């Protein structure tokens, strides 16, 4: 079985990491050959996901795309599907949904995964509306959380087409000894400093502003903190200005986009996800596999991943005091942090591995290709 994963990428972010992890998991099946494909936008040519896939010995392909509507891209996809004898097309995201469905029409079954519809801007809301109308044409639609499934149903996407499949990760990539001395020196982090970190695109949905405000309150109490913001995005300058306005810029580090996520997680003492909207965030699974105590907001699939005060700490979204108190509590009770970390690791190993994720997708692909050809829409 040959599977083409198609994505239009803005960097090696959450959805891209799902594509790579899923493809790695699928490649372990004797009868499956996954290929990672990316739409290379001429104005924003991010192909990092292809380089990551190549480093894992996965098949790759790049499709050129010269604008919002490029008929040649559809022709490229259609030609590749035929010549490489692809059995199933698997799309990830608005743009790949549009081009992928047109390219695969009447050829092969197509499935899409909704990793999270972002709605913080009117343009994004418009994309959601268009995508909700378009994805109904796919044979199957995967949601990475029950909340995303409910969001799609609000847009009248047929429930019978939707299946919830949890994200998963390669545990071994994070559960290992990782040297971090050079990183610590590079960030000028002194001894006996508690490193509180978060990883994610700098966009409104991730709630970074609330962590910054909690950092201000914590630093008013104690000075032995450093706050690490890993990622990039349209809010970077706004957040940097806010750190200056709060007078905490010396204790806040904005790293920009990074590829050394296991190393960065290793140097964190506490991982925080202050999001106001989420799906099933890969980075939380990665923090669990890294055995880090986690503080996260009750959004998306977080309550499915983490049990409060058992495998992490859950708080309300936008709760600055809750963030401050939870971080302070973990720094004063290190034993609790160790216990939470171990329970989190056990859970991610047993329930959210890339192996389990790949098995569920394989069952879906097999169902699609064994359907009568007349059922392909």
The reply to whether 190 and 47 lie within a common domain is no
What are the tokens at 317? 């979204």
For 245, list phi and psi in degrees, rounded to 5.
Answer: -65, -35
Per DSSP, the three-state class of 103 is helix
- Between the alpha carbon of residue 15 and those of residues 200, 268, 279, 291, 304, the distances in Å are 11, 23, 10, 22, 19
Asked if residues 195 and 290 have their Cβ atoms less than 8 Å apart, the reply is no
pLDDT computed for residue 347 by the predictor: 93
pLDDT computed for residue 236 by the predictor: 96
The reply to whether 308 and 201 lie within a common domain is yes
pLDDT tens digits in sequence order for the chain, 377 residues long: 999 999 998 778 888 989 999 999 999 999 999 999 999 887 777 888 999 999 999 999 999 988 778 899 999 999 999 999 999 999 998 899 999 999 999 899 999 999 887 766 667 778 788 888 899 999 999 998 888 899 899 989 999 999 999 999 888 888 878 888 888 989 989 888 999 999 999 999 999 999 999 999 999 999 999 999 999 999 999 999 999 999 999 999 999 989 899 999 999 999 999 999 888 888 999 999 999 999 999 998 899 999 999 999 999 999 999 999 999 999 999 999 999 999 999 999 988 988 889 999 999 999 999 876 544 44
The reply to whether 346 and 361 lie within a common domain is no
For 200, list phi and psi in degrees, rounded to 5.
Answer: 165, 165
Please give the Cα distance from 176 to 143 (Å, whole number).
Answer: 31
The reply to whether 320 and 273 lie within a common domain is yes
pLDDT computed for residue 376 by the predictor: 47
pLDDT computed for residue 373 by the predictor: 57
Domain range for residue 209?
A: 173-351
**Is the C-alpha dihedral spanning 17, 344, 116, 314 positive or negative?**
negative
Per DSSP, the three-state class of 287 is helix
Per DSSP, the three-state class of 80 is helix
The reply to whether 145 and 188 lie within a common domain is no
The reply to whether 242 and 97 lie within a common domain is no
Show Cβ contacts of residue 186 under 8 Å, excluding neighbours closer than 6 positions: none
What are the tokens at 163? 């299946």
What are the tokens at 321? 């005091």
The reply to whether 225 and 290 lie within a common domain is yes
Number of domains comprising the chain: 2
Asked if residues 275 and 199 have their Cβ atoms less than 8 Å apart, the reply is no
The reply to whether 202 and 301 lie within a common domain is yes
CATH number of domain containing 111: 3.40.50.2000
The reply to whether 219 and 293 lie within a common domain is yes
The reply to whether 177 and 228 lie within a common domain is yes
Please give the Cα distance from 4 to 356 (Å, whole number).
Answer: 20
Please give the Cα distance from 151 to 136 (Å, whole number).
Answer: 14
Asked if residues 303 and 286 have their Cβ atoms less than 8 Å apart, the reply is no
Q: How many CA atoms lie within 13 A of 235 on its CB side?
A: 19
3-state helix, strand, coil in the chain (%, to 5): 50, 20, 30
The reply to whether 86 and 204 lie within a common domain is no
The reply to whether 79 and 218 lie within a common domain is no
Torsion, Cα 353 357 362 363, to 10 degrees, reads 120
Show Cβ contacts of residue 176 under 8 Å, excluding neighbours closer than 6 positions: 262
* Cα 123 off chain centre by: 21
Rg of the chain taking only CA atoms, in angstroms: 21
């Amino acid at each position: 079985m040959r599977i083409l994963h198609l994505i239009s990428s803005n960097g090696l972010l959450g959805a891209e990491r799902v594509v790579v992890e899923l493809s790695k998991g699928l490649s372990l099946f004797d009868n499956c050959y996954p290929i990672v494909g990316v739409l290379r936008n001429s104005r924003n040519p991010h192909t990092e996901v292809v380089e990551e896939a190549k480093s894992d010995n996965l098949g790759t392909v790049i499709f050129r795309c010269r604008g919002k509507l490029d008929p040649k891209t559809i022709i490229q996809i259609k030609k590749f599907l035929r010549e490489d004898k692809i059995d199933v097309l698997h799309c990830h995201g608005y743009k790949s949904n549009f081009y992928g469905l047109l390219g695969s029409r009447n050829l092969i079954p197509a499935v899409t995964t909704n990793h999270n519809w972002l709605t913080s801007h009117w343009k994004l809301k418009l994309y959601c509306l268009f995508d909700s109308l378009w994805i109904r044409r796919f044979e199957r639609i995967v949601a990475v959380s029950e909340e995303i499934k409910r969001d799609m149903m609000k847009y009248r996407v047929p429930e019978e087409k939707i299946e919830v499949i949890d994200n998963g990760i390669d545990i071994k990539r994070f559960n290992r000894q990782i040297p971090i001395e050079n990183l610590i020196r590079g960030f000028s982090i002194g001894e006996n400093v508690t490193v509180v970190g978060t990883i994610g695109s700098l966009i409104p949905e991730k709630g970074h502003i609330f962590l910054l405000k909690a950092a201000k309150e914590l630093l008013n109490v104690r000075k032995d903190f450093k706050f690490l913001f890993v990622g990039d995005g349209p809010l970077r300058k706004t957040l940097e200005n806010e750190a200056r306005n709060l007078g905490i810029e010396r204790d806040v580090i904005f790293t920009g986009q990074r590829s050394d996520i296991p190393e960065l997680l290793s140097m964190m003492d506490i991982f925080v996800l202050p999001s106001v909207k989420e799906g099933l965030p890969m980075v939380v699974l990665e923090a669990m596999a890294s055995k880090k105590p986690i503080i996260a907001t009750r959004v998306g699939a977080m309550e499915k991943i983490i049990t409060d005060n058992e495998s992490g700490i859950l708080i309300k979204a936008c709760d600055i005091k809750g963030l401050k108190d939870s971080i302070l509590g973990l720094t004063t009770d290190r034993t609790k942090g160790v216990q939470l970390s171990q329970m989190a690791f056990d859970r991610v190993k047993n329930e959210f591995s890339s192996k389990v994720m790949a098995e569920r997708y394989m069952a879906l692909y097999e169902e699609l290709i064994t359907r009568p050809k007349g059922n392909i829409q």
